[in-house]
Amino acid sequence: MDPQQQSAIQGAKVLMVGAGGIGCELLKTLALSGFHDIHIIDMDTIEVSNLNRQFLFRRSHVGQSKAKVARDAVLRFRPHINIRSYHANVKNPEFDVDFFKQFDVVLNGLDNLDARRHVNRLCLAADVPLVESGTTGFLGQVTVHVKGKTECYECQTKPTPKTYPVCTITSTPTKFVHCIVWAKDLLFAKLFGDKNQDNDLNVRAKKEASSSKETEDVFERAEDEDIEQYGRKIYDHVFGYNIEAALSNEETWKNRTRPRPIYSKEVLPESLTQKNGSTQNCSATDVDDSTVSAMPLLGLKNPQELWGLTQNSLVFIEALKLFFAKRKKEIGHLTFDKDDQLAVEFVTAAANIRAESFGIPLHSLFEAKGIAGNIVHAVATTNAIVAGLIVIEAIKVLKKDEDKYRMTYCLEHPSRKMLLMPVEPFEPNPSCYVCSKTPLVLEINTQKSKLRDLVDKIVKAKLGMNLPLIMHGASLLYEVGDDLDDIMVANYNANLEKFLSELPSPVINGSTLTVEDLQQELSCKINVKHREEFDEEKEPEGMVLSGWTQSPPTKGESASTSKNESDVDVTESSSGPEIASKKRRLSETEPKNHKRETENVEGEDDDYLMEIEDDDLTEIENPMTVSKKKKRVA
């Protein structure tokens, strides 16, 4: 290293956010590159599944803080440097703008969009450069964000989890993923989550309705009802009677293949304990709580084996029995978790039975788990490469070598004989409401929409504000904070239940709202446009926000279909605070040279934003198209 570079590195104070797959590699590389003052924030604890790639951790560390263990591991071979760890959420109040101002550069190794946006805003407010990163399998990306010099993290479209029309999920599935969403978000939630939720699973065929009491809830299990009989009743209802109810609408099936109703008596013996030799001496209550699984009871060992209809039906019944026998206290509060073996078994079996009914190819448990959890298995070498690229860009930032900043893409297959493709960063997007302060436009019925609708659906969900403050002129309509007295809290809560036009300072057509997040030091203007009517199918939220970005329709999914039907978000569990599940609209005023294309990278699937095991999340773009964009301001 030249003296200038060495001096910049040794005198730098660096903040790392995330100590997972990328974070472990990054901390090691920073320490070995000569950095002396490093701070790490991570809210997660170590899990067994981390150990195959997060090399600073060992089995004895399971359950401990990632940030602390990573710090201790690096200090063992670099004891002379200063590393401070924070086992906390980066969105906590103590990590405010003043906290960020003490650092020379911030390096992100995060696993979710929400936290990334939060850090981006704090870096802008503190005027601290940010180096962002992400990986998915063999693909990786590193970008540099410097206020006023390059685009910020939110200047461009960010992918969101795919959504599917509700009617496709409930009535006309054509892909296995549709069956997974149905099994996970409808059936599993109905059986083991909140039973009071209403969904299309309650639909009955005429034959079933005529033989049941009007008030009977098929999902309600009587105290003295045998678990196996209850399971068969559910099986017959969702795979038999509900399919018959769907078939009664002849118009739906004019141009579609008709599904086949499946009943338990067709595929299962009268008594499972008599037929299944592996379970005749082992009931559900014999299973150890710590390893609850239906597969051993049925002699199934290989998760990559493809089960037939009978095997899936057996797993369905046995898994349901195990939930009631061994995890009864959890029923009513459960949500699907890809790391819950029994939940994965149940969802796989249910999805396969439904797929069989609709003539869709079946999948193994291994494949179904990947689809249900949106898992792309992490590659340790990709994390190492990306960590090295982060450090290279961080050194350029510290030297203020702006002409050499690069966004770098790590490819799975060579393109132009390159596996690493560097591209010059781009100038800030003038339509970005975060860094360019462009006003947003909100179409809303000011006489029928309440302030709560605005706060929940726009300010929090779409704009990602955590501690919002809303003003109309000089009138403060809403505020969140620990320093508010009881009278103020009561007044703001009362405002939430008022229609916009009836607020103390009425919000009507032509009003301009100022929305701020004091923690993020972000402020934006929203111009209100009153609109009487909204299409319930195309605009289910009853309001339309323009001037913010959302990813375009995914390849293979019809844009018109997505607009004409209500959507079900395909979301996934995450070890981070949350994975973004909200739509982001493409700005109508966005210049063409700022509109990114979303073609596939080297034939990869166009799910650019996915969960990687449990802590690596990508923001992969197409490196072949970004060269069409305008270059940054020098």
Residue 527 annotated in ligand binding? no
343 belongs to an annotated ligand binding site: no
On whether 510 is known to bind a ligand per the annotation, the reply is no
The DSSP call for residue 619 is -
Rounded Cα distance between 153 and 146, Å, is 10
Instruction: Measure the CA–CA gap between 468 and 460, rounded to whole angstroms.
Output: 8
End-to-end, the C-alpha distance of the chain in Å comes to: 26
- Of 24, 123, 167, 179, which one is the catalytic site residue? 167
Selection from 592, 446, 427, 428 nearest residue 526 by Cα: 446
Please, what is the angle between helix 3-10 and helix 380-398, to 10°?
Answer: 110
Q: Is 545 helix (H, G, I), strand (E, B) or coil?
A: strand
User: Has 294 been labeled as part of a binding site?
Assistant: no
- The answer to whether 495 is annotated as binding is no
Judge whether 114 is annotated as a binding position.
yes
Distance (Å, whole) CA 152 – CA 241: 53
155 is in an annotated binding site: yes
Is 435 among the annotated ligand-binding positions? yes
121 is in an annotated binding site: no
- Tell me if 588 sits within 8 A of 544, measured CB to CB: no
Work out the widest C-alpha separation in the chain, in whole angstroms: 86
CB-CB contact of 496 with 451 (8 Å) = yes
Which structure tokens are listed for 513?
């709202």
For residue 509, say whether it is annotated as part of any ligand binding site.
Answer: no
Residues 6+ apart with CB under 8 A from 234: 191, 218, 219, 320
- Whether 406 has a binding-site annotation, put simply, is no
Q: Is 452 one of the annotated binding-site residues?
A: no
Distance CA 334, CA 326 (A): 14
Alpha-carbon span 129 to 145, nearest angstrom: 6
Percent helix, strand and coil across the chain, each to the nearest 5: 35, 15, 50
- Return the sign of the alpha-carbon dihedral for residues 243, 248, 249, 253: positive
Chain centre to alpha carbon of residue 189: 18
Q: Which residues contact 301 (CB under 8 A, 6 or more apart)?
A: 295
Question: d(Cα 169, Cα 355) in Å, to the nearest integer?
Answer: 12
**Which residues, 6 or more positions from 8, have their beta carbon under 8 angstroms from its beta carbon?**
395, 398, 399
Of 441, 465, 438, give the one whose Cα is nearest residue 544. 441
Q: Is 52 annotated as a binding residue?
A: yes
Bridge partners (DSSP) of residue 23 are none
Angle in degrees, 0-180, between the axes of helices 309-326 and 341-357, rounded to the nearest 10:
140
Is 50 annotated as a binding-site member? yes
Beta bridge partners of 14: 38, 105
417 assigned ligand-binding residue: no
Residue 96: phi and psi, rounded to 5, are -95, -170
Annotated binding-site residue? 117: no
Tell me if 204 is assigned to a ligand binding site.
Answer: no
- For residue 182, CA distances in Å to 134, 337, 569 come to 30, 15, 11
Ligand-binding annotation for 152, yes or no, is yes
Is 134 annotated to bind ligand? no
Active site residue 410: no
**Is 53 labelled as part of a ligand binding site?**
yes
The token duo for 485 is: 């007295």
Q: Tell whether residue 355 is among the known ligand binding residues.
A: no
The pair of structure tokens assigned to 367 is 């494949």
3-state secondary structure of 4: helix
116 marked as part of a ligand binding site = yes
User: Hey, which residues are catalytic here?
Assistant: 167
Q: List, as residue ranges, the binding site.
A: 18-23, 42, 50-53, 66, 111-116, 152, 155, 432, 435
Q: List, as residue ranges, the binding site for ATP.
A: 18-23, 42, 50-53, 66, 111-116
Q: List, as residue ranges, the binding site for Zn(2+).
A: 152, 155, 432, 435
